[in-house]
């Protein structure tokens, strides 16, 4: 989750909002002193963050530049930039569905 978030250009604060944790909990996870509880809501949302990374990475050909550009660009499907939409569980789920659809077309 942490590597996927970093590759997407998400800060610890943005990742914390996306998965429903405090920023300090995410920092403890980064230092290795805390882990997600299997089966918890944050773990489920973390899996979606990883799916966003994997789907987007497949679409942009492992390009950091294109991945971050997509995250920062306004998208009418979300009525926001994906970086902003990912802050809510609903937005995160919409991004996953959008990317799954885009991958199906390619």
Q: Residues 49-76: pLDDT tens digits?
A: 999 999 999 999 889 999 999 999 999 9
Q: SS3 for 80?
A: strand
pTM of the shown model: 0.91
Asked if residue 59 lies in contact with residue 71, where contact means CB atoms within 8 angstroms, the answer is no
- Per-domain boundaries in the chain: 1-104
Residue-level pLDDT at 103:
81
Residues of the chain with pLDDT under 50: none
The full DSSP string for 20-73 is T--HHHHHHHHHTS--PPTTSHHHHHHHHHHHHHHHHHHHHTS-HHHHHHHHHS
Maximum alpha-carbon separation in the chain: 41
Residue-level pLDDT at 48:
96
């Amino acid at each position: 989750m942490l590597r996927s978030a970093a590759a997407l250009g998400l800060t610890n604060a943005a990742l914390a909002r996306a998965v429903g944790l405090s920023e300090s909990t995410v920092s403890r996870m980064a230092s290795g002193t805390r882990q997600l509880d299997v089966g918890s809501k944050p773990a489920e949302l973390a899996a979606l963050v990883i799916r966003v990374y994997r789907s987007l990475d497949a679409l942009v050909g492992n390009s950091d530049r294109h991945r971050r550009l997509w995250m920062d660009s306004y998208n009418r499907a979300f009525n926001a930039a994906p970086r902003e939409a990912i802050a809510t569980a609903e937005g995160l789920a919409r991004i996953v569905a959008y990317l799954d659809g885009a991958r199906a077309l390619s």
